[in-house]
């Protein structure tokens, strides 16, 4: 507690691997081109994945925190050459200042749990759960 009596309670939130799977079980950013081959949109998959993470953080913090509370993220991509630039463009739109952006590691992986996923993100966030003034 500070000398003026204010206190802040924060929790460390560990968000496990999250991807572009929607609540209804479908996947964002992937379409069948008609011959059985899948066509991917890394921008849409990245945005959907980050939105899902934001929902988790907001729920855990009672809407007190969002993506700004992420302090570390690990991004898994199934094809670094094809998808890194698109993922990075979305990331840089959300975090334009490298000095305040969360630490991030990007890892190329052979596959993810579904062939419809080309990105998965896990992260650590520090969320405010209570702020008492003059406590």
CATH number of domain containing 90: 3.30.1330.40
- Say if 135 falls within a structural domain: no
- Say if 33 falls within a structural domain: yes
**What CA–CA distances, in Å, run from 47 to 10, 34, 84, 127, 132?**
26, 25, 14, 21, 34
- Say if 133 falls within a structural domain: no
Q: What total of structural domains would you count in the chain?
A: 1
Look at the block and give the residue holding tokens 């052979």.
110
What pLDDT digit, counting tens, does each position of 16-75 carry?
Answer: 999 999 999 999 999 998 898 999 999 999 999 999 999 999 999 899 899 999 999 999
- Say if 2 falls within a structural domain: no
- Say if 96 falls within a structural domain: yes
Domain carrying residue 112: 7-128
pLDDT at 4 over 70: no
pLDDT category of residue 131 using cuts at 50, 70 and 90: low
- Say if 1 falls within a structural domain: no
pLDDT at 1 over 50: no
- Distant-in-sequence, close-in-space partners of 119: CB < 8 Å, separation ≥ 6: 19, 20, 42, 45, 46, 49, 75, 76, 77, 78, 83, 87, 112
pTM of the model: 0.89
What pLDDT digit, counting tens, does each position of 76-121 carry?
Answer: 999 999 999 999 999 999 999 999 999 999 999 999 999 999 999 9
């Amino acid at each position: 507690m500070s000398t003026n009596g204010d206190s802040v309670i924060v929790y460390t939130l560990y968000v496990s691997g999250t991807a572009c799977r929607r609540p209804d079980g479908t996947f964002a950013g992937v379409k069948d081109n008609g011959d059985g081959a899948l066509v991917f949109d890394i921008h849409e998959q990245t945005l959907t994945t980050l939105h899902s993470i934001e929902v988790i953080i907001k729920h855990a913090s009672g809407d007190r925190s969002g993506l700004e509370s992420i302090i570390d993220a690990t991004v898994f991509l199934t094809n670094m050459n094809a998808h890194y630039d698109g993922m990075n463009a979305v990331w840089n739109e959300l975090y334009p200042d490298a000095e305040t952006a969360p630490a991030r590691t990007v890892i190329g992986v052979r596959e993810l749990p579904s062939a419809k996923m080309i990105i998965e993100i896990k992260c650590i966030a520090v969320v405010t759960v209570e702020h008492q003034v003059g406590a």
